Amino acid sequence: MEGFKKYYKKNWSERLEILKKQEILSQEDIDRLKSQAIDVSLGETQIENFITQYLLPEGLALNYVINGKEYLIPMVTEEPSVIAASSHGAGIVKKSGGFKASVKQRLMLGQVIVEKIEDVDKFEDDILENEAELLENEAELLEIANQAHPSIVRRGGGARWIRVRKLDKSIVSIDLAVDVQEAMGANMLNTMLEAIAATIREKYEQDVVMSILSNYATECLATAICDIPVASLTKNGMSGEKIAEKIAQASYIAQIDPYRATTHNKGIMNGIDGVVIASGNDWRAIEAGAHAYAAKDGNYRGLSTWKVIGDTLHGEITLPLPLGSVGGSIGIVPLVKVNHKLLEIENAIELEKVVASVGLGQNLAALYALVTEGIQKGHMRLQLKSLASSIGATEKEIPLVVSKLEKLNKRDMSTAKEILDNLRNEGK
């Protein structure tokens, strides 16, 4: 494209001017980009070729009681029904004592991939398995990793163990587990892995393909559970027992059918992503790890399970949640700092417990709606509000437009515009 040579070296105003000169954007478009750029210096720090901030709405999910503590949960999402549904699901669980959540350990994993190995079994023995000298090799690699990032060792963290996995007849993965303390730890882990990779090249004279963290954080699993008396689920003439049975059946179907499991898990991630983004963490890493974990046994399954046990509906979810409470965007985005104050979390482990509970609460709300009134009733009302707003209805006009659309059972833009025009003509 003409005019974009060394675009990254231009300042913000120059980048926008190029878009106008190339007749890609109008002055009105440029003005809109400028109006959304609320912190240019922050944007320039975060990404290359910055032109504006793309703003997403943030709201608070309510009713979350986790391990006896009630939370305000900031969520960033553009989907209308997510926060309402999350608060509803949490409210059902709150009446029964809330969620119980746990994190057994918090280690991040990385890989040094070694290729062109003539004897994979011997290489594995050389790294790990022989009793005396070669166990020293493992200790040596752990020490090399720790020397590459000594500050984490001083804070009580550091490399914890190494394993070797055979990937094929000539390729292995040397996996490193690290206690990264309060950080998500990507840069820290990659630094350690590169130090190990250098040793593998020099001492073992092997070819290293790459050294990189893994987002499949199987050593950082968070679990949330809840128990709800089935009698409390009664709705619209349907007994709580019947609703609980249907929720359990829906959960079972997500275990046996990947088509259903995909949508089941998408609903869970609606809530999880919203909190992860608000907390300044990498939601893409969490998504990747969660979906990999859903397929851990070779079949893609729902991340949560619901079962009727006696007169109680029991829900449970476990997934990898390698979240941080410091570092990255957490340290430089002012709104993230505000969100951490709203959450009132003490550390990364507490954040992981909160996020797991949100996933389970979001899932409960979706399943509850699906097996009772259907997913569309509450969802569509919020969609209609968005439709009314998109055609220019004011805050006072939106509920009037929505009400008339519902009466007409219409959801198209032309009808909404006609209703809005009539309302304004009547007011003249």
Catalytic-labelled residue, pool 282, 316, 350, 352: 282
Catalytic-labelled residue, pool 88, 94, 291, 379: 379
Active site residue 79: yes
Residue 156: what residue type?
G
Measured CA to CA in angstroms, residue 266 lies from 79, 217, 218, 304, 390 at distances of 12, 19, 20, 12, 26
Catalytic-labelled residue, pool 69, 116, 203, 266: 266
**Spatial separation of the C-alpha atoms in residues 11 and 32, rounded to whole Å:** 18
Catalytic-labelled residue, pool 79, 138, 227, 257: 79
Residue 75: what residue type?
M
**Spatial separation of the C-alpha atoms in residues 219 and 178, rounded to whole Å:** 10
Active site residue 168: no
Active site residue 264: no
Residue whose token pair is 């954080």: 217
User: CB neighbours of 292 closer than 8 A, spacing ≥ 6?
Assistant: 215, 216, 320
Report yes or no: 288 and 263 within 8 Å, Cβ to Cβ: no
Active site residue 428: no
Active-site residues, by number, are 79, 266, 282, 379
